[in-house]
Amino acid sequence: MELTEDVSVLKNVGTQRLSQLHAMGIETVGDLLEHFPREYEDRRQMKTVDELVPGQSNTFRATVLAEAENIRYQKKVQTRLKVGDADNSVTCIWFGMPYLKNTFQVGQTYVFTGRYEIKYGRRQVSSPEFESMEKETLESSGKIIPIYPTTKGMSQKILRKLMAQAVEGMKDRLKDGLPQWVRKQYQLAERNFAIENIHFPQDENSFFLARRRLVFEELYLLQTALFRLKEQATEGKSGPLLDAKKGRAEIEAALPFSLTDAQKTVLEEIEADFGSGRVMNRLVQGDVGSGKTAVAAVACYETIANGYQAALMAPTEVLAGQHYETFSQLFTPLGVRVGFLRGAMKKKEKQALLDDIATGRVQMVIGTHAVIQDGVLFDRLGFVVTDEQHRFGVKQRVRLAQKGESPHVLVMTATPIPRTLALILYGDLDISIIDALPAGRQAIDTLVVPPSYHERVYGFIEKELKAGRQAYLVCPAVEESEKRETEAVLTYGEKMAQRFSAFRVGILHGKMKADEKQEMMAAFAKNEIQVLVATTVIEVGINVPNATIMVVENAEYFGLSQLHQLRGRVGRGSEKSYCILISEAKNAVTKERLKVMKRTTDGFEIAETDLKLRGPGDFFGTRQHGLPVMKIANLYQDMDVLRLAQQAAKESKNHPLPQEEEEAFLAQLRHFFGGNEIGI
Ligand code: ADP
Ligand code: MG
């Protein structure tokens, strides 16, 4: 057996099993070994029937007291088996497995593991796993048992048996992917031990050592990859040498406000990079409304004043369109030509714009990531800004840097990540933080109300509309179906159009064509529409200062950080703003979560609380950050190991590997990032 071999080499893997394994993303023996347990069950403590604890899974020893019976119940077959000892008995029940009837013999002893309940006064165990005590070696009883993420039709027992085969088949033959010096210095278990004990831990301590080693390995790979990316993007690469003073006074005078100190500090960091001769790779973190766009605009203008072109990429066309408006207003009077690359452009129009970009007549280019990355030729690209980077991955960043020239790159994000973690996660970027909001912002009042308040909420909206303000209504999120989501938003929109018949109500959803969305947003921005009913399309970045009300239906469906983003759409002008969260929130955790929204407007605090209450879940779902999905490490809980791994990755420079090992390590890195696209 080899790691690269197809899982079908394992015994008992036929076409059906194979397709189940494939559905779980498992193709090879190696993939199977890296399918780690999601939890464990401690079956070392074997109970007697007398000791069973109701409401939970129990492992117990019992003797078959009577022959099993098959009973038809509502067209289904139930197999019932009475087991116990001299003092007590309990009934084991299985569903739809009539063949089990003949498995058991009266008087034989088995070990059962299953959930024990007392139902209608009857003591029963549903669908227990079982093993005969007569067998010489017990496979799973008396051990710590792994529980795997699995798929329909693939039981824990079967998966466990396959895993045992793979572990046995590869026993003591796994190559260690971690360099020797790392293992020694950080006292990490060897790989064979780790794989064996992560699946079938001998005891707690072995499990701990195994997990620590595997987590370390994964994070070490991540960190090494990020460092190499950074080196590749920056090392020895000269960036355009820009004189940042050029244009600064001019653009500042053109802004409708003066920059905050926080904005100025970040600009200084950017300007230092501009003037360094080295290429910039910088992340700007700033809470919603902190004024990241203005920082980008100043830096773009400085670039253009130096005779280079600048590009701004946004994740959605709506957002790109809005940036286009802002930049046009600001730059056109200063004699800078701004171009907007849209998906749906007439061929001729698009060609003309592409020509203007290629010859340098258009100096400021705005569009979505997709549009700008696909074969746009620049005359002299000096600076690229990507907005809202949590939807923009490492790979895209690299691809961009690989496009011939090495422009300075600035990535802007409103995703609040604690600084320590950001430093590690964005190990390939320098980080700037806009840590204060522009002065004079009014606090946003946040209310959490039950659905019975609908009419009062609408009444309140009406009052605001009459005073000349605008409102966002975010529709119930419908899970998993874009079609149903669209239907929901259309129905809701119609209802609102009737309710607010004196005003214009617009609808925005993901299924609309890009230019339709564009028009709708533009109309809302110009106050031609007063109420915007939307799905979370509006979540990121939209800026309409006259909008003062944000209503979110079914607020409990949203993550707190998402609600924070939504709330950030209001409170952008000088008028008092309101965020109304409508929620049926019955359970305590949900209530607690929504209360946090009332308590604070600090994005970092909100993110941390969300983390605590919800658990890490997919908060650091690394996909958001364009990083590979972690198989075992938890970026939040394993922070201490993450730090060590980062340290080791930094030190790796001083420990060059022999060529063969280096190549093996690179292969592992590529495997980790799912192919060679990352360009390491
Ligand atoms: P975000 O950081 O969320 O992208 P924006 O760049 O959209 O925030 O800015 C939010 C709002 O604040 C905009 O209306 C913008 O014009 C305004 N703004 C930005 N900087 C300042 C400032 N220094 N003083 C006053 N208002 C500002
Ligand atoms: Mg923004």
Over 220-270, what HEC string results? HHHHHHHHHHHHHHHCCCECCCCCCCCCHHHHHHHCCCCCCHHHHHHHHHH
Per the rule left: phi > 0, alpha: psi between -120 and 50, beta: everything else, 610 is: alpha
Q: Indicate which ligand has the atom closest to the C-alpha of 543.
A: 1
Sorted by where each starts, the structural domains of the chain and their CATH numbers stand as 1-44+156-173 (1.10.150), 45-142 (2.40.50.140), 177-235+621-627+651-675 (no CATH), 245-434 (3.40.50.300), 444-604 (3.40.50.300)
pLDDT for res 483:
65
Which ligand 1 atom sits closest to the C-alpha of 293? 6
Residue to mutate (ligand 1; options 543, 546, 565, 575; most atoms within 8 A of CB): 543
Q: Indicate which ligand has the atom closest to the C-alpha of 441.
A: 1
Ligand 1 pocket check for 257: Cβ under 6 Å: yes
pLDDT for res 43:
75
How far is the C-alpha of 308 from the C-alpha of 382, rounded, in Å? 5
Residue to mutate (ligand 1; options 252, 264, 287, 290; most atoms within 8 A of CB): 290
- Non-local CB neighbours of 241 within 8 Å, separated by 6+ positions: 274, 275, 277
Ligand 1 pocket check for 389: Cβ under 6 Å: no
Residue to mutate (ligand 1; options 252, 257, 390, 542; most atoms within 8 A of CB): 257
Ligand 1 pocket check for 552: Cβ under 6 Å: no
Radius of gyration of the chain (CA): 30
pLDDT for res 69:
93
Q: Which residues of the chain have pLDDT under 70?
A: 134-142, 233-236, 371-375, 388-405, 415-428, 476-485, 537-541, 610-629, 635-636, 673-680
Ligand 1 pocket check for 543: Cβ under 6 Å: yes
Angle at 14 between CA 12 and CA 19, to 5 degrees: 120
> Do strands 144-147 and 281-286 pair parallel, antiparallel, or not at all (unpaired)?
unpaired
- Non-local CB neighbours of 467 within 8 Å, separated by 6+ positions: none
291 CA to middle of ligand 1, Å? 3
CB of 518 closer than 8 Å to CB of 440:
no
Residue nearest to atom 20 of ligand 1 (CA): 291
465 CA to middle of ligand 2, Å? 25
188 CA to middle of ligand 2, Å? 43
pLDDT for res 581:
94
Ligand 1 pocket check for 281: Cβ under 6 Å: no
Strand partners, 312: 366, 385
Residue nearest to atom 14 of ligand 1 (CA): 572
Residue nearest to atom 18 of ligand 1 (CA): 291
554 CA to middle of ligand 2, Å? 25
Q: Indicate which ligand has the atom closest to the C-alpha of 263.
A: 1
How far is the C-alpha of 633 from the C-alpha of 623, rounded, in Å? 14
Give the torsion sign (CA, 436, 441, 443, 449): negative
pTM: 0.65
Question: How far is Cα of residue 108 from the mean position of the Cα atoms in its chain?
Answer: 51
Ligand 1 pocket check for 291: Cβ under 6 Å: yes
DSSP 28: B
CB of 213 closer than 8 Å to CB of 641:
no
pLDDT for res 677:
46
pLDDT for res 250:
96
Angle at 511 between CA 352 and CA 415, to 5 degrees: 85
Q: Indicate which ligand has the atom closest to the C-alpha of 288.
A: 1
Share above pLDDT 90 across residues of the chain, in percent, rounded to a whole number: 43
Which ligand 1 atom sits closest to the C-alpha of 286? 2
Ligand 1 pocket check for 438: Cβ under 6 Å: yes
How far is the C-alpha of 126 from the C-alpha of 477, rounded, in Å? 36
The three-class DSSP label of residue 654 is helix
How far is residue 551 from each of residues 383, 534, 577, 599, measured CA to CA in Å? Answer: 38, 10, 11, 17
625 CA to middle of ligand 2, Å? 17
Q: Indicate which ligand has the atom closest to the C-alpha of 568.
A: 1
Q: Indicate which ligand has the atom closest to the C-alpha of 291.
A: 1
Helix (H) or strand (E) holding 313: strand 309-314
pLDDT for res 405:
65
- Non-local CB neighbours of 128 within 8 Å, separated by 6+ positions: 92, 94, 112, 113, 114, 115
Q: What is the pLDDT of residues 405-447, one digit of tens each?
A: 678 989 888 766 666 566 666 666 788 888 888 887 778 999 9
Instruction: Quickly tell me which residue has 């609408």 as its tokens.
Output: 458
Strand locations in 535-598 (E)? 547-552, 577-582
295 CA to middle of ligand 1, Å? 9
CB of 202 closer than 8 Å to CB of 195:
no
Residue to mutate (ligand 1; options 258, 293, 319, 412; most atoms within 8 A of CB): 293
